[in-house]
Structure 1
Amino acid sequence: MNDYGVTGATTGVEVLIKLPIHKVWSGITAIDRYGEWSPECIYGAWLEKDVRFEARNRFPNGLETYVTCTVTVLEQPRRFGWDVYGDESVPFAHWEYELEDRGAETLVRQSFTHGPGNSGMRMHVVQHSHRAPQAIQGRLDQLSANMRTTLAAMESALDPDVA
């Protein structure tokens, strides 16, 4: 079956955060706080600390989804990543953070890669295959914007000088 380039579609951002690496690490691993910062993720909770968590997302059209995530990368304080699962045993996405220590600042590289599993993006692209490249790029652009928004909100929330 043709997936029109969904599997492996990727995007990412690189943001310099004015916080030391240990503070940024505490933020990116605070799954229960993502709902405060993200424009899309409205809830997160650990099922097994550092192993599995659940999340709920709300999209601009009002659709809400529930996913479970399995931590696949945990290299404190440099890398943190997870695979996202819906109703099947194959992940439909991989999210990852890479942190670079710059003293009082941290360079954050956040990435998203679509997996082979079934997702809303895949279903949309299959339904609108004549516009597949535009649909994929539109979603990737939306995800990149959401990453920047989330990282900015996280930085503000974790910065003691902002309070």
Structure 2
Amino acid sequence: MNDYGVTGATTGVEVLIKLPVRTLWTGITAIDRYGEWSPECIYGAWLEENATFEARNRFPDGLETYVTCTVTVLEEPTRFGWDVYGGEEVPFAHWEYELEDRGAETLVRQSFTHGPGDSGMRMAVVKEPDRAAEAIRRRLDQLAANMRTTLAAMESALR
């Protein structure tokens, strides 16, 4: 089956946050607070501290999804990442933060990479393969905008 470029599709942002690295670390690992900050993730809760968590997302069309996530990168206070599962044995996404300590500020690099599992993005390109590139770009742009919104809200809340 043609993948249309979904697996491995990636986006990311680089943002200078006016918080020290340790303060920001407490925010990015506070899974239970993402619902306060994210335009898409409305709920998060640890299932097993520092190992797995659950999350719920709500999309502009009203669709809500439930996912489980497994932490794959935990290097306090500089790297935090997780794989996202939607019921399959393979992840459909990987999210990661890299934090660079700059004293009173922290340079954040946040990234998203699509995995081989099923997702809304994959369903969209299979449904309209002639518009696959457009659908992928639209979703990646939306994710990058959501990252910036989430980081700004996190920065404001943690001051």
TM superposition score category, shorter chain reference: over 0.9
Pairwise CA RMSD:
0.3
Structure 1: how far apart are the matches of 2:18 and 2:100?
12
User: What TM-score, normalized to structure 1?
Assistant: 0.97
1:14-163 alignment, distance < 5 Å: 14-159=14-159
Structure 1: stretches of 5+ with no match in the other structure = none
The residue number in structure 2 matching 1:5 is 5
Q: Secondary structure at the match of 1:154?
A: helix
Q: Secondary structure at the match of 1:136?
A: helix
Identity over aligned pairs, percent: 84
Q: Which amino acid aligns with 1:52?
A: T
Q: CA deviation at 1:3?
A: 1.0
Structure 1: how far apart are the matches of 2:29 and 2:40?
17
Q: CA deviation at 1:91?
A: 0.1
Structure 2: how far apart are the matches of 1:6 and 1:139?
11
Between the two proteins, the alignment pairs up a number of residues equal to 159
Q: Which amino acid aligns with 1:12?
A: G
User: What TM-score, normalized to structure 2?
Assistant: 1.00
Q: Which runs of 4+ in 1 moved over 4 A?
A: none
Q: Secondary structure at the match of 1:148?
A: helix
Q: Which amino acid aligns with 2:123?
A: M
Structure 2: how far apart are the matches of 1:148 and 1:118?
25
